[in-house]
Structure 1
Amino acid sequence: MVENLEPKQAWQLLQTDPSAVLIDVRTKMEHSYVGHPIGAVHIPWKENPDWQVNPAFVEQVAEAVPDKNAPVLLLCRSGQRSLDAAAALAAAGYSRPINILEGFEGPLDDDKHRGNRGGWRFHDLPWEQS
């Protein structure tokens, strides 16, 4: 089963549970150029140019998070890819995959821009650009 947390709740969990790991499932370009949470492990769920699911995703997560009982928080742009990735981890036996609602950039606003209605950056949580 996949748990969902708001960005501030996810940040709080990361601060209070040393076993918790944050995984950024966005593409390499998004991670590098749009920015990413400080300390996030980058393991893409899908990648350009074909946008196919990364066949090694679960294996790569297992390398970063060998304890299947640890909270694994997953973040994408707006919360959909991370939800799919969390479901894959649940199916692989992870007991606490957590989708971060709103993602890094949040939902689109009326002008079809992100970052104005939610997301990791919107909530002023720690992030950086490469």
Structure 2
Amino acid sequence: MIENLDPQQAWAVLQDNPAAVMIDVRTSIEHSFVGHPPKAIHVAWKEFPGMQLNPYFVEQVQQHAPDKTAPVLLLCRSGVRSVDAAKALETAGYRHLINILDGFEGPLDEHKHRNTVGGWRFHGLPWQQS
């Protein structure tokens, strides 16, 4: 089952459940330069150049989240790639998947800017840059 939680709810899960793991499915560049939540484990769903699907995604997640019953939270830029990544993990047998709605940067606003109407950073949750 894939659950959808807003960033504040996802942060609460991470605080309340020490077994919970957050997987940042964005590209390496997004994770490093745009920023990421503390302790977010980077495993790209798609990567530059060409935004090719990572054929080792499930295997790489399993290295960081071997317990398929523990909560696995998935984060991308705006909450789209993370859904696809969650579906792949569900097929691989993960049982408690959480898609973080609006992702790290949130949706585009009327001026085509992110971080102004939603997302992890918009809500003032902890984050850092590499």
Q: TM range, normalised to the smaller chain?
A: over 0.9
* Match in the other structure for 2:56: 56
> For 1:1-130, what aligned pairs fall within 5 Å after superposition?
1-130=1-130
Cα RMSD for the two superposed structures: 0.5
Deviations 1:9-39 (A, max 9, x none): 0000000001100110000000011000011
Q: Percent identity?
A: 67
Misfit runs of 4+, over 2 Å? none
The letter of the residue matching 1:91 is T
Deviations 1:73-95 (A, max 9, x none): 00000000001000110010000
The separation in 2 between residues aligned to 1:60 and 1:107, in whole angstroms, is 28
The letter of the residue matching 1:36 is H
The letter of the residue matching 1:69 is T
TM-score, structure 2 normalization: 0.99
**Aligned partner of residue 46 in structure 2, secondary structure:** coil
The separation in 1 between residues aligned to 2:74 and 2:129, in whole angstroms, is 18
Stretches of structure 1 that go unaligned for 5 or more consecutive residues are none
